[in-house]
Amino acid sequence: MTKSNILFLALISFISGIFLSSFFKIQNLIIYELLTLAVFYILISLKEKSVIIFAVCMIFFGLGAMRFQKADFVLENNPIKNYYSKEATIVANIIDEPISKNGRTTFTVKTESVNKEKLESKILITALGYQKYSYGDRLKIDAKIYEPPVFSDFNYKNYLKKSGILAVIYWPKIKIISKNNGNLLYSKILSLKQSLREIIKENLSPPSSWFLAAMTLGDKKDISSQWKEKLNKVGLRHITCISGMHIVILSGILVWVFIMLGFYRGQAFYPAICLLWLFILMTGLQPSAIRAGIMASLFFFSQKIGRQKSASRAILLAASIMLAVNPLLLRFDIGFELSFLATLGIIYLMPLFNKMFSKVALLQSFRIDQLLSITIAAQIFTLPILIYNFGYFSLISPLSNLLIVPALPYIMASGFLFLFGGFVWHPIAWILSMPTAFLLGFLSRTVNFLSKAQFATITLRISWAWLLFFYILLGSLLFYISKKERPKFLTFRSR
């Protein structure tokens, strides 16, 4: 067995340990016994490679289970829970960018003390009105602390828990003690983001301004609930989330720009990766963006050293890195689940559909065979999770994606050019915004038209048993297909 396959099994074992321990409490004694047994197997079977591989998988499984349970233990035993439903005076720092919408401002704080007791925890604050709070503000807060609620159709408590937020506060009395206490670099990045946000608002009208802010800044707060519903109906909500598709497009743009500036492809790697992660940082370190950023970085680095790895290893490595940092993502973050499932669908199913559609002359003539393959492959892998969590799926999604996704590289390229030009010299922003406005107008009109179709969505509910059955069936089918023809990583043919 190759080193690559051993790594694959080890990463699968690590993720499996996190997954299993997120549903079932595994006693620490059992984990320690498992790790000890694995070390014993290695010591007595130095010449038996299969036994050593099995032992290594046992170790990684135990480490995964231990990582989740340690993270969960720390959160479950945080002293902030002793203050639920109690009035308190809190000293805390704002650790993210405040969001103002619908007459209120929300932001997350990290506490220094509660009622003069030293205590570190994260609390989500909802303040009345459009308050002028900023990242890095040190606050004195007088309010009642509440446990996050669990609604009948949504576990808000677990949604916040995956971000380490254990309490919520509504309409507090707040006094700013001092400002500019956060990371200086991140403060400058948020200041840049605000300047770019203003350029968009000044030169584009809604919903075009909303879409561009979401695609280039990760800023989705202004998208109205009506337009969110339209995007859901046509299966295009993903274009407003910083995901693998956006990162791949941006990576390609950055590499092309530096090559045009005279860099060799190997030299373009360093500035492109730096700007890529600057972009990810500016968008708020969203899990989907981090995952895509890790994959893009691995892909470019492997190209640079001439040892391009298979996509399945890259996606598992990206998942393992993220889960090692925050193991709660696997169970409590639906976006994380959808992002990885969509990528796996593209890796394993896209080649199969691409082979089928390559024989259809009509698709070949319009050059949409690969795009259709990607769309269907990703949707097959994510469809059960979407139905299980949201109770509906979009029938019109393949058509809407075929119409809109090909335009995304041009929207993002023209959008970044417009923002860069407007930032350097403000008067030129309006001229540079025209191509972007035209493309975004096409997007909004298409979404608006398709969302009116009576057959756009179907409502359906399934149990966790059907969810498990589907993925077991899908995995078995892929295993059978792999025996006949090993699927290759997605590559775009030059036309």
No. of helices (H) and no. of strands (E), the chain: 20, 10
pLDDT of residue 367: 64
CA distance 430 to 434: 7
Q: How confident is the model at residue 475 (pLDDT cuts 50, 70, 90)?
A: confident
Mention every residue, 6+ apart, whose C-beta is less than 8 A from residue 494.
none
Q: How confident is the model at residue 304 (pLDDT cuts 50, 70, 90)?
A: low
Q: Where are the alpha helices (DSSP H) in 349-492?
A: 350-357, 361-365, 369-390, 397-404, 408-424, 429-450, 464-484
Which carries the bigger pLDDT value, residue 302 or residue 103? 103
**For range 148-173, the mean pLDDT:** 92
pLDDT of residue 307: 53
Q: Is the dihedral of CA 260, 266, 267, 268 positive or negative?
A: positive
Measured between its terminal Cα atoms, the distance across the chain in Å is 38
Q: How confident is the model at residue 171 (pLDDT cuts 50, 70, 90)?
A: very high
Which carries the bigger pLDDT value, residue 145 or residue 275? 145
pLDDT above 60 for 76? yes
8 Å CB contact between 169 and 145: yes
pLDDT of residue 341: 81
Highest mean pLDDT: which of 16-25, 116-125, 329-338? 116-125
pLDDT of residue 494: 39
pLDDT of residue 306: 55
SS3 106: strand
pLDDT above 70 for 236? yes
pLDDT above 60 for 268? yes
Lowest mean pLDDT among 85-94, 304-313, 430-439: 304-313
Mention every residue, 6+ apart, whose C-beta is less than 8 A from residue 152.
none
Nearest to 189 by CA among 281, 327, 324: 281
Place of tokens 């992002």: 339
pLDDT above 70 for 305? no
pLDDT of residue 314: 75
103, 116, 118, 167 from 81: Cα distances, Å? 29, 16, 14, 8
CA distance 428 to 199: 11
pLDDT of residue 491: 45
Highest mean pLDDT: which of 27-36, 164-173, 360-369? 164-173
Which carries the bigger pLDDT value, residue 412 or residue 406? 412
SS3 172: coil
pLDDT of residue 462: 80
Q: What is the mean pLDDT of the chain?
A: 85
CA distance 360 to 340: 29
Q: What is the pLDDT of residues 316-354, one digit of tens each?
A: 888 898 899 999 988 888 878 877 787 778 778 877 887
**For range 462-490, the mean pLDDT:** 75
Q: How confident is the model at residue 356 (pLDDT cuts 50, 70, 90)?
A: confident
May I ask the CATH class of domain 79-183? Answer: mainly beta
Q: How confident is the model at residue 364 (pLDDT cuts 50, 70, 90)?
A: low
pLDDT above 50 for 473? yes
Highest mean pLDDT: which of 306-320, 332-346, 435-449? 435-449
pLDDT above 60 for 57? yes
What length is written for the chain?
Answer: 495
pLDDT > 70 fraction of the chain, expressed in percent and rounded: 91
**For range 247-259, the mean pLDDT:** 77
190, 254, 289 from 276: Cα distances, Å? 16, 8, 10
Q: What is the pLDDT of residues 380-403, one digit of tens each?
A: 888 888 788 777 778 888 888 888
Which carries the bigger pLDDT value, residue 106 or residue 375? 106
pLDDT of residue 493: 43
Q: How confident is the model at residue 492 (pLDDT cuts 50, 70, 90)?
A: very low
**For range 360-367, the mean pLDDT:** 68
pLDDT > 90 fraction of the chain, expressed in percent and rounded: 39
